[in-house]
Structure 1
Amino acid sequence: MKSTDTKKITLFALTWPIFVEILLHMLMGNADTLMLSQYSDHSVAAVGVANQILSVVIVMFGFVAAGASILVAQYLGAKQEIDAAKISMTSISLNLIFSLAISLVLFLMSSFILELMDLPPELMDEASVYMNIVGGFMFIQALIMTISAILRSYGYTKDTMYVTIGMNVLNVIGNYLFIFGPFGFPALGVEGVAYSTIISRFIGFIIITIVLIYRSEKKLPLKSFYHYERTHVTDLLKIGIPSAGEQLSYNTSQMIITYFVAQLGTVAITTKVYVQNLMMFILLFSNAIGQGTQILIGYMIGEGNLDSAYQRCIKSLKISIIISTITAVIFYAFHASLLGIFTDDPSIIEQGGLLLLVTVILEPGRAFNLVVISSLRAAGDVKFPVLLGILSMWGISVTFAWFFGIFLGLGLLGIWIGFIADEWLRGMLMLQRWRSKVWIKKAFVN
């Protein structure tokens, strides 16, 4: 890969393309939801539950990509470009092998997995079709994630943004053709959304691979694709597994909470899907700032510039809290219009409005976790966020969601109380960890 002058890269330069890229990924999911909502609310609920399961799988793929992103940034900061390139190729190879195995399991066992979620019978057929098709080709998404993480760590955040734009355009066109069946195309509904998803991802994978080859000036260390260096694999796993573990714990806990919501009925599932689709836009800023901060702190750790790394996290956190709070207030103020984009069911709009109101309390807490956890990972402090995350997500989020939502009968409001308690407790403890500066001794590149 071409060498990057890390000292000239700013948070804004890294973050705005990441912001656009994440926004477009969200729009792709929301395009599916919005276009399906014109077809059937039941279809929306079916795809929503299936995607809840697939999001856990994506996190599993992310453990190699996360490790590669942090190591490449640290190696570039330390001016060790050859090792950075080797890590890049090894990570692509490892994720290909792992994701092919997972994709096969999803293809063969999609119905069984959905049955474990206690899905309402009226949703099972469509959810199973979607899981079978999209799940069977999840290895394509794993490769896109890995290559994108590598390009971002080299500072090529615009390249991944452009590829995502193209994927979104293709996905929306495909949805239109295969959901509604114009121009003689078959009207396939949920099945059509699944086909559109995998086709747009496959084309995106081809393009981003070409970008990687171009940016590397065709000098990729291909030997590292099949001949692994032990230290590289070890470091990838040391960072990647705990990093993904925190996200895996979060998404798995969300699956259990979705199981609780399923007991409340199809309307509750649909309301949760619509509201969380909107919430994704609120946390978008914190997510992008967190990823940009992670890359910068990785560079600074590699350079040995620890004071700058410490201040970078604190500054990014303040920005994130302010923006996420303002955005949450705006979304609540216009909740009727925003939810009205998806549905005209008054019960869904009423419940959704209440959930967006309490989201104003939730989102600043989530900003702590998105920014500070990314900073801790970038510094090599990867085990603490996982251990604390598992304790809080399951001990607080899941437990409170059941207690308030199911046992006390507060429904979705009780579920959101669990979310708030988890995010704020974890966020405060993560900030305390960063301020302790324990992470200074945990960098992988010296």
Structure 2
Amino acid sequence: MHLPERPRLNAVAGPIFGEFLLGYTVVIAGLWLASHTSDGAAGSLGLANQVLESLYVVFRVLAIGMGVVITQLLGGQQVELVRRTALSGLGACTWAGLFVVSILVLGNDLILDVLNAPDEILPLASPYLQLLAPAALLDGYNLTMAAILRAHLHARDSLKVMVVMHSTHLALAVPLMLGVGPWDGLGLYGFAVALLVSRALGLALHLVLWRKRMDLVPTARHWWVLQPRVLAPVLRIGVPGASAELGYRAAFMVSLAGAARLGVVALATHAYTLQLLRYVLLVSLAIGWACEIMVGRLVGGGQFSQARALVRKGVRNGLMASGGLALAAALAAPWLMRVFTKDPHVIQAAQTLLWIAVALETGRVFNLIVTGALRATGDVIYPVAASIGSFVLVLGLGSYVLGRSLGLPGIFIAYAADEWVRGLLMMARWHWHGWLPHARSSQRRVRKR
């Protein structure tokens, strides 16, 4: 397979941006539909989304590891190993998915108790988490299969799957949540049912594209058998990467519990603001994923100077995009927040949070882009080790202390400080070439396999 000397970052980032845009738009639409039912329904949906994101760290172990290993193998022209590695991911997804399902089904009440969920939302949130369980299993397959498609530079095909999947979700969510004719609908639970149907469709489409684009046809055995020797390089990359995410999610859950302690209105404001900020980080997130894919290929092919230039360009573009969008969101908050609520107190509180988020989102650029690039070179331990202190002291303890004294603004100040502390540590590692020995080691491993 020919590796271009100058990878087109935007050609990879563009379709990935489209995927994220669609996915987050459906979540925003669901939050909007839930908010027209009650603030409690909106708070339940926002809380459940955060729980899912934390549990999906299990799937990210596979998606991260698969993406990096396959891009490196493709860069080193190891086609047969690519095939074996991709197919081994399905069995791993099955067992990882069953683990997530068991937590959602059996541990939903405990999760809500740990998060200090207000009593008003418990009757909604508890069964809603259980309804999400089968869709979570299917999401695990879709996340990993999409990562493998993108690693082969079939980002446009992955985007097509997401267009159909998310469009189906939204098209079904409206009647299932709001009802049709005399039928009142399922309310919040309709969102979970629509999610399940759309994820099943997404899995079917991924299987079709795997066969057409990569000649990958899984057998029954691939869906349940674990292949430790094939998965070992994937886990070597994925476990540290996902561990960093798990550390972040654990610290973030402390802040979420702090927001929940402030009451239903504060929890809904927190959910509305974070969902709006998703749009701000989309560009940097897409650039970060594209950089990870391209840096992995470049490292596999020994093109280290091109990797350096690619990441510098990605950071520059991300800072301009995220900074501009965050500023626009803060300025437009009085109008944007009316999509979710008419409560002037909620709108005013959200605007304050969005101004703090200008600092939050610019700091997040380094973590979204540079951390992925470090991981793609094989430098997987440093991002975890460098982040632990900030997770515990700045994000976790900081959000707890500042949240009790300053409320939601204090929690968002802790978010911003954490992103900048970790982001500067990552940028220093890249700038001073601390990743270079790992990149050379990764290239040697690819050549030996």
Q: TM > 0.5 between the two?
A: yes
Q: CA deviation at 1:193?
A: 1.3
Q: 1:170 aligns with which of 136, 154, 168?
A: 168
Equivalent position of 1:22 in the other structure: 20
CA RMSD of aligned residues (A): 1.8
Q: Residue 207 of structure 2 contacts residue 217 of structure 2 at CA under 8 Å; is this kept in 1?
A: no
Q: CA deviation at 1:441?
A: 2.0
Q: 1:420 aligns with which of 416, 439, 449?
A: 416
Q: Residue 290 of structure 1 contacts residue 371 of structure 1 at CA under 8 Å; is this kept in 2?
A: yes
Equivalent position of 1:81 in the other structure: 79
Equivalent-residue separation in structure 1 for 2:420 and 2:11 (angstroms): 29
Q: CA deviation at 1:86?
A: 1.1
Q: Deviations over 1:252-311 (max 9, x none)?
A: 211111101111111110000000011110011110000001111001100001111112
The residue correspondences of 1:61-80 to structure 2 (distance < 5 A) are 61-80=59-78
Q: CA deviation at 1:213?
A: 1.6
Q: CA deviation at 1:403?
A: 1.6
Equivalent-residue separation in structure 2 for 1:129 and 1:433 (angstroms): 45
Q: 2:341 aligns with which of 329, 332, 343?
A: 343
Equivalent position of 1:249 in the other structure: 247
Unaligned runs of 5+ in 1: none
Q: CA deviation at 1:405?
A: 1.6
Equivalent-residue separation in structure 2 for 1:234 and 1:273 (angstroms): 38
Equivalent-residue separation in structure 1 for 2:278 and 2:395 (angstroms): 18
The residue correspondences of 1:321-400 to structure 2 (distance < 5 A) are 321-400=319-398
The residue correspondences of 1:45-64 to structure 2 (distance < 5 A) are 45-64=43-62
2:188 pairs with 1:190: yes
Q: CA deviation at 1:232?
A: 2.8
Equivalent position of 1:442 in the other structure: 438
Equivalent-residue separation in structure 2 for 1:152 and 1:234 (angstroms): 21
Q: CA deviation at 1:136?
A: 4.0
Equivalent position of 2:429 in the other structure: 433
The residue correspondences of 1:125-164 to structure 2 (distance < 5 A) are 125-164=123-162
Q: 2:103 aligns with which of 94, 102, 105?
A: 105
Q: Residue 247 of structure 2 contacts residue 391 of structure 2 at CA under 8 Å; is this kept in 1?
A: yes
The residue correspondences of 1:23-38 to structure 2 (distance < 5 A) are 23-38=21-36
Distance 1:229 1:218, change over 3 A: closer
Equivalent-residue separation in structure 2 for 1:353 and 1:155 (angstroms): 39
Equivalent-residue separation in structure 2 for 1:346 and 1:155 (angstroms): 46
Q: CA deviation at 1:28?
A: 1.5
Name whichever of 393-402 and 282-291 sits farther off: 393-402
2:402 pairs with 1:410: no
Q: 1:299 aligns with which of 297, 300, 307?
A: 297
Equivalent-residue separation in structure 1 for 2:252 and 2:204 (angstroms): 32
Q: SS at the partner of 2:185?
A: coil
Equivalent-residue separation in structure 1 for 2:283 and 2:150 (angstroms): 17
Aligned residues: 442
Q: Residue 392 of structure 1 contacts residue 426 of structure 1 at CA under 8 Å; is this kept in 2?
A: yes
Q: Deviations over 1:182-238 (max 9, x none)?
A: 145452111111111111111111111211122123566987767766543221111
Equivalent position of 2:177 in the other structure: 179
Equivalent-residue separation in structure 2 for 1:183 and 1:8 (angstroms): 56
Equivalent-residue separation in structure 1 for 2:223 and 2:39 (angstroms): 45
Q: CA deviation at 1:344?
A: 0.2
The residue correspondences of 1:144-293 to structure 2 (distance < 5 A) are 144-218=142-216, 230-293=228-291
> Structure 1 stretches (4+) deviating beyond 4 angstroms?
3-9, 218-231
Equivalent position of 2:11 in the other structure: 13
Normalised by the length of structure 1, the TM-score is: 0.95
Distance 1:316 1:218, change over 3 A: closer
Percent identity between the two aligned chains:
29
Q: CA deviation at 1:339?
A: 0.4
Q: Residue 64 of structure 1 contacts residue 91 of structure 1 at CA under 8 Å; is this kept in 2?
A: yes
Q: Residue 144 of structure 1 contacts residue 208 of structure 1 at CA under 8 Å; is this kept in 2?
A: yes
Distance 1:261 1:226, change over 3 A: closer
Normalised by the length of structure 2, the TM-score is: 0.94
Distance 1:192 1:226, change over 3 A: closer
Q: CA deviation at 1:420?
A: 1.1
Q: CA deviation at 1:101?
A: 2.5
Q: Residue 289 of structure 1 contacts residue 371 of structure 1 at CA under 8 Å; is this kept in 2?
A: yes
Q: Residue 89 of structure 1 contacts residue 222 of structure 1 at CA under 8 Å; is this kept in 2?
A: no
Unaligned runs of 5+ in 2: 445-449
Q: SS at the partner of 1:182?
A: coil
Q: CA deviation at 1:436?
A: 2.2
